[in-house]
Structure 1
Amino acid sequence: MSLRAGDARQAIAPMLCAVGGELPEGDDWTFEPKYDGIRVIAYATPGQVLLLTRNGNDKSRQFPELVEALMALSKRRERPLVLDGEVVALDAGEIARFGQLQSRMHVTDSARIRTHAGQESAAFIAFDLLLHGDTSLLNESWVKRRALLEKVMGDADAAGVLRLAETDADGQAMIERAREAGWEGTIAKRITAPYRPGRRSSDWLKLKLENTQEFVVGGWTEPRRSRKHLGALLLGYYAADGKLDYAGHTGTGFDRAGLADMERRLRRLGRKTSPFRTEPKTNEAAHWVTPKVVVQVRFNEWTRNGTLRQPVFIGVREDKDAKA
């Protein structure tokens, strides 16, 4: 199996979820937690690992402990493996929120990477097996892929660096667990379905419990008083006609390092005109940017005039494409 990033991206793109409403009923569904991390396709051989995001960015350098564990797994199984899963942050061994990955996912300095790996734990949660040696499993049902995944993972890592995604045929029980644990939601999967690379399929349904969404940054405002770097992000989303509609602004959820990092990202993308369909009115001077930065935002609800109520910045989504 080639581990050149370009070849790997062309081979398998991640299957995507459709947005679900009601909990699907019937014996042909299973339910998993919606993990709050970085979705990656892991390409593993005994000597090399790629962790490719939806955009084709390789995150293996940022998570050396996961690379080591996946190489060891491939070596034990004596074959290359391709796994679909999520890189998540850990807090005292428990799965944490996406924001706790922020300090690790963009670091490129080797010394800092080692420091973060030693101080801020992460894990890879596998929820699908796409290639087992030379055998493609894409056309097999979820049931068959899951059974083989469980055999492959086994007791993959006693320290919890590699984990197997939970699954439950009782959707209501999984929903209740999600509410108790504070998860973002659950994923419903049709157990007879094949893996559909790069396609958004109703065989996988995203059932969200809280309002979180990715938005594109179209600009930022000047900070007030003693605040540094920037005041608020000006958020948008692409409508069906390809135009960027304004969704609101948020300046909460940042720490000092996050504000500085965001300012650096946005200044590189500066432009003279607003990228939004209709230029929003702002209380402070606005700086416009080419809309390439994607951020995850938590909010209370959509208002009647189509903007967000009480939006809070969670983190930058380098793994998401601005126009996806």
Structure 2
Amino acid sequence: MLATPVPVPGRLPAGPGWRFEVKWDGVRILADTTGDRLRMLGRNGRDAAPAYPELAGLADLPPGTVLDGEVVALRDGVPSFAALAERMHVRDPARAAALARRVPVSYLVFDVPVLAGEDLTRRPFAERRAALETVPLPEHVQLSPVYEDGDVIWAATRAQGLEGVVAKRATSTYQPGRRSGDWLKAVHHTTRTALVGGWRPETNGSGRIGAVLLGAPDADGGLRFLCRAGSGLAGALARDLTAALRTRERPTSPFAERLEPVDARGTVWVEPEVLLDVRYLTRTPSGRLRQPVLRGRRDDTAADPWEV
């Protein structure tokens, strides 16, 4: 179940019928024990359990249980997507174990669609939350707190540098696969997942990646240009992107429109398969991202469509 952006940016609903939670800056995961082993499913359906060995205790949940929550990694006491990005692609057990010691994650749980084989999706949120609070949670797993005053939690998340707030109607059912108006999200910073369509080398002749060209798929299946971005492109992300993009080069632009020379000049075109998380200030009337900052590579979800 997905949340819908609030109709007026920064303005949360009010009244006794709403509950409020922090919008955590991490990766959405369903922890599923309905089969013969623990699965940790991202929004694209891939099993992320091998990447997070410190969450293996979730396998001891009551059989036939599905929890919904967010995996986060802390840096200086605040969830950091950049720190988490180092973890999410790893499948080698030895490397995953080493990273778990160096950059441990937490799983913040906020819903329980299925408990011990009982489908709770038609129950109201308040009842599901009460059921969730009875579930014994293992190490590195905790409940995401719920609040009744949206204005207070909105101010607190801004002061603490958190991503934002999710408002949930207390009577809301759990609606898998839907972006419902019963769950509303308000964010302090706007982010999206974009596809890399090309890269530009640094201007000093080093041959290293200095910027990437990002795009979004539109309703007709074309790749629309969002921006050229270089801020945040350093360290592990730069090394990871270099390896990923070198094997995806192509002779022509993958973008549906012809780009301006300032963007196209010197660009190495690539198949639009690599996903990046990008934070930005606003979008221009033509759809371009203003002040984009790259935060990490993703493989847990699909690209956000142009129309979003």
TM-score, with length taken from structure 1: 0.86
Alpha-carbon distance in structure 1 between the residues aligned to 2:249 and 2:238: 16
- Corresponding residue to 1:217 among 196, 201, 204: 196
Match of 1:272 in 2: 251
- Corresponding residue to 2:58 among 70, 73, 86: 70
Kindly report which structure 2 residues correspond to 1:191-230, keeping only aligned pairs within 5 A, or say none: 191-225=170-204, 227-230=206-209
CA RMSD in angstroms comes to: 2.1
In the alignment, does 2:124 pair up with 1:145? no
Letter of the 1:307 partner, please give it.
R
How far 1:95 moved relative to its partner?
4.3
How far 1:43 moved relative to its partner?
0.8
Match of 1:84 in 2: 68
Alpha-carbon distance in structure 2 between the residues aligned to 1:271 and 1:228: 17
Q: Answer whether contact 2:78 2:162 (CA < 8 A) is retained.
A: no
Match of 1:43 in 2: 32
Residue aligned with 1:102, SS:
helix
How far 1:218 moved relative to its partner?
1.5
Letter of the 1:234 partner, please give it.
L
CA offset digits 1:218-262 (Å, max 9, x no partner): 211223215453121101223344432211111120223321211
- Corresponding residue to 1:251 among 227, 230, 236: 230
Q: Structure 1: which 5+ runs fail to align?
A: 1-14
Match of 1:5 in 2: none
Cα distance, 1:95–1:115 mapped onto 2, change above 3 Å: same
Match of 1:171 in 2: 150
Cα distance, 1:221–1:190 mapped onto 2, change above 3 Å: same
Number of residue-to-residue matches in the alignment: 300
Alpha-carbon distance in structure 1 between the residues aligned to 2:254 and 2:120: 43
Structure 1 segments (4+ residues) deviating >4 Å: none
Q: Answer whether contact 1:49 1:60 (CA < 8 A) is retained.
A: yes
Alpha-carbon distance in structure 2 between the residues aligned to 1:220 and 1:226: 14
CA offset digits 1:60-96 (Å, max 9, x no partner): 01111101x2123x1xxx433210111110346x442
Letter of the 1:192 partner, please give it.
T
Match of 2:12 in 1: 23
How far 1:163 moved relative to its partner?
0.9
Q: Answer whether contact 1:238 1:245 (CA < 8 A) is retained.
A: yes
Alpha-carbon distance in structure 1 between the residues aligned to 2:96 and 2:207: 27
How far 1:46 moved relative to its partner?
10
In the alignment, does 2:42 pair up with 1:53? yes
Alpha-carbon distance in structure 1 between the residues aligned to 2:276 and 2:185: 19
Q: Answer whether contact 2:237 2:297 (CA < 8 A) is retained.
A: no
How far 1:45 moved relative to its partner?
6.7
Residue aligned with 1:263, SS:
helix
Cα distance, 1:257–1:86 mapped onto 2, change above 3 Å: same
Q: Answer whether contact 2:197 2:255 (CA < 8 A) is retained.
A: yes
Residue aligned with 2:228, SS:
strand
Alpha-carbon distance in structure 2 between the residues aligned to 1:205 and 1:25: 12
Q: Answer whether contact 1:291 1:322 (CA < 8 A) is retained.
A: no
Q: Structure 2: which 5+ runs fail to align?
A: none
Alpha-carbon distance in structure 2 between the residues aligned to 1:279 and 1:220: 16
Kindly report which structure 2 residues correspond to 1:228-247, keeping only aligned pairs within 5 A, or say none: 228-247=207-226
Q: Percent identity?
A: 38
Match of 2:167 in 1: 188
